Amino acid sequence: MIAAKVIVLVALGAGFTYEMGVNRNLSTNAFFSHKAQGMPWVVVLLVILFAVWNFVLSRTRYGRHVYAVGGNEEASRRAGVVVSRIRISVFVICSGMAAVSGMIAASLLQSVQSNAGAGNTLLLAVGRQSSAARRCSAGTAASSTPFSAAWSSRSSSTA
């Protein structure tokens, strides 16, 4: 038992030593060359992520639960789905995908701006959507969908 632990520690130490000796120069590193056999590596990453999430959402019990909670929360709760757990896990996954997209953007630019995302774009988008939702629920929108209500409120305010 002790010999196995020693072998594992030696292997970890050798791997750590190898990783610390790797050349980290961005100009010679293949990951930052923006190409994987002539194709941008972001395309390869997006295809892999699409395949993984498509499989998870269409072929697993978790995916069925996600669609059920998104369709009707109360019916899902009555069917035995732990709605809070599914909702929190979806938020965590979305946050993780946002982090991946931030890392991709930073690696493509090879720099990070301290004021990235500091504009009013998000605030204005949320305000527009909430005003469209209020109009839709009050019955003053021309259509029953929130998207068309937001579009009609946008076109009426810019005219």
pLDDT tens string 104-151: 877 777 677 777 666 666 666 666 666 655 655 555 444 444 444 444
Share of the chain above pLDDT 70, in %: 55
Q: Give the pLDDT band (50/70/90) at residue 41.
A: confident
Considering the chain, what is the average pLDDT of its residues?
74
Q: Give the pLDDT band (50/70/90) at residue 62.
A: very high
Report which DSSP code applies to 35. Answer: -
Q: What are phi and psi of 39, to 5 degrees?
A: -110, 140
Looking at residue 14, what is its pLDDT?
A: 79
The SS3 assignment for 81 reads coil
CB 76 within 8 A of CB 68: yes
* Calpha distance 106→81 (Å, rounded): 38
Q: Which amino acid is at 159?
A: A
pTM of the model: 0.52
H helix count then E strand count, the chain: 7, 0
